[in-house]
Amino acid sequence: MSLDRLVSPGPLPDDDDPGTALRPSSLDNFVGQATIKERLAIAITAAQERDEPLEHVLFHGPPGLGKTSLAHIIANEMDGKLVTTSGPALEKTADLMGMLTNLQLGDVLFVDEIHRTPRSIEEYLYPAMEDFAVDFILDKGPFAKAIRLPLKRFTLVGATTRAGLLSSPLRDRFGLYFHLDFYTPAELEAIVWRSAGLLGVEIVAEAAAELARRSRGTPRIANRLLRRVRDYAQVKGHAPVSLEVAQASLQLEGVDDEGLDELDRKVLRAIVTRYNGGPVGIEALAATLQEETDTLTDVVEPYLLQQGFLVRTSTGRRATPRAYAHLGVEPPRRVDQQPLPL
């Protein structure tokens, strides 16, 4: 279930074609992240005026917020070709060398989840990023020779959900750093309107606002919910999409008023009912739910923590009064702990 959740911020297989169609191609069409847009626009314009490639760029933040879209935009704005790969896919030195040597002046190499690049491969990126050259080692032992091959000046765009796992030598070679944060409901509503226009979906203002409110601050989820509502309205013969239709569709999909799905509610229910509100360790919680620990910490917890349904303590996770209220459960009276803020 956790691998194909409708509200998962990570990409799903059915996101590919529609997601590409909905992806903005310029900064003018990119909604949200106003400060990042302004800083990036200044950097791009300055690089164009100097007639040189953009500095290497690192985007970090939760999944689904537009890191890949911004990489496409950089390539479009700089009139370069975008070459896409990911850290785990770079298993052999030859794979990276082939990509680097085929890059032309001004091209953009986008490495998603760059923190998962093997260390042996990462070391070949250092001279490529700093000196625009790669070192080949010919032969072995006493006959080994190093040959430096120059590269065309390119821009490396890295994306990561865990900036803290990047090694210092790699992180220091990026000239531009941008942290993407969750979107506001107003920004998500603008994204819903834009996507609805591209998909040819008629939708009323109340329904667009409802989709934005349940999208967990993530554009990818907003677009995914819009497509599910579109399908529901098409099959049921409702046009335009009204608030009632949007609510009925999302209820059928298991997405509640707070944007939580069944896995989110299972986590809260387990803490509230089986562990008396906590504290409970993440390993015990994962064993109870038969889920991977990484799934809970990387996929489920961030939104629950951000919205105040959970708190982390030194002894484990605890449910807040808001979690009890959402589940319709009376919180226990406890004299051994300080009350949690609402």
91-114 pLDDT per residue, tens: 888 888 888 989 999 999 999 999
Rounded (5°) CA angle 22-223-239? 100
Q: How far is CA 120 from CA 58, 110, 137, 302, in A?
A: 20, 19, 14, 31
> Has residue 14 got a pLDDT over 60?
no
Asked if 235 and 248 count as a contact pair (C-beta separation under 8 A), the reply is: no
Q: Which helix (H) or strand (E) holds 147?
A: strand 145-150
5, 23, 67, 317: which is the annotated catalytic residue? 67
Q: Which fold has domain 262-327?
A: Arc Repressor Mutant, subunit A (1.10.10)
For the segment 303-308, the average pLDDT, to the nearest whole number, is 86
Mean pLDDT across the chain, nearest whole number?
86
Binned at pLDDT 50, 70 and 90, residue 307 comes out as confident
For the segment 215-219, the average pLDDT, to the nearest whole number, is 90
CA atoms within 13 A on the CB side of 34: 3
> Residue 262, class by beta-carbon neighbours within 10 Å (0-12 exposed, 13-18 middle, 19+ buried)?
middle
Tokens representing 35? 């400060």
Nearest to 8 by CA among 59, 63, 61, 86: 63
Catalytic residue check, 140 = no
Q: Which helix (H) or strand (E) holds 124?
A: helix 119-130
Return d(Cα 57, Cα 71) in angstroms, integer. 9
For the segment 283-303, the average pLDDT, to the nearest whole number, is 84
Q: Please tell me the predicted confidence (pLDDT) of residue 47.
A: 93
Q: Where are the domains of the chain?
A: 33-179, 185-253, 262-327
For the segment 4-28, the average pLDDT, to the nearest whole number, is 65
* Residue 116 one-letter amino acid: R
Strand pairing report for 57-60 and 155-160:
parallel
Q: How far is CA 77 from CA 43, 44, 69, 225, in A?
A: 11, 7, 12, 30
Strand pairing report for 310-313 and 316-319:
antiparallel
161, 218, 295, 320: which is the annotated catalytic residue? 161
Catalytic residue check, 295 = no
68, 160, 218, 320: which is the annotated catalytic residue? 68
Residues in the chain: 342
Chain-centroid distance, C-alpha 101: 29
Asked if 224 and 6 count as a contact pair (C-beta separation under 8 A), the reply is: yes
Q: Please tell me the predicted confidence (pLDDT) of residue 1.
A: 43
220, 230, 318, 322: which is the annotated catalytic residue? 220
Asked if 66 and 219 count as a contact pair (C-beta separation under 8 A), the reply is: yes
5, 23, 112, 230: which is the annotated catalytic residue? 112
Report the percentage of the chain scoring pLDDT > 90: 38
Catalytic residue check, 68 = yes
Nearest to 59 by CA among 50, 67, 69, 51: 67
pTM of the model: 0.81
33-179 domain in CATH 3.40.50.1820?
no
> Residue 45, class by beta-carbon neighbours within 10 Å (0-12 exposed, 13-18 middle, 19+ buried)?
exposed
What sign for the dihedral angle of Cα 319, 3, 95, 111?
A: negative
Return d(Cα 84, Cα 280) in angstroms, integer. 41
Catalytic residue check, 214 = no
Return d(Cα 266, Cα 28) in angstroms, integer. 40
Q: Which helix (H) or strand (E) holds 84?
A: strand 82-86
Catalytic residue check, 218 = no
CA atoms within 13 A on the CB side of 129: 25
Q: Which residues pair with 60 in a beta bridge?
A: 160, 179
Q: Please tell me the predicted confidence (pLDDT) of residue 159.
A: 93
> Has residue 18 got a pLDDT over 90?
no
The CATH number given to 185-253 is 1.10.8.60
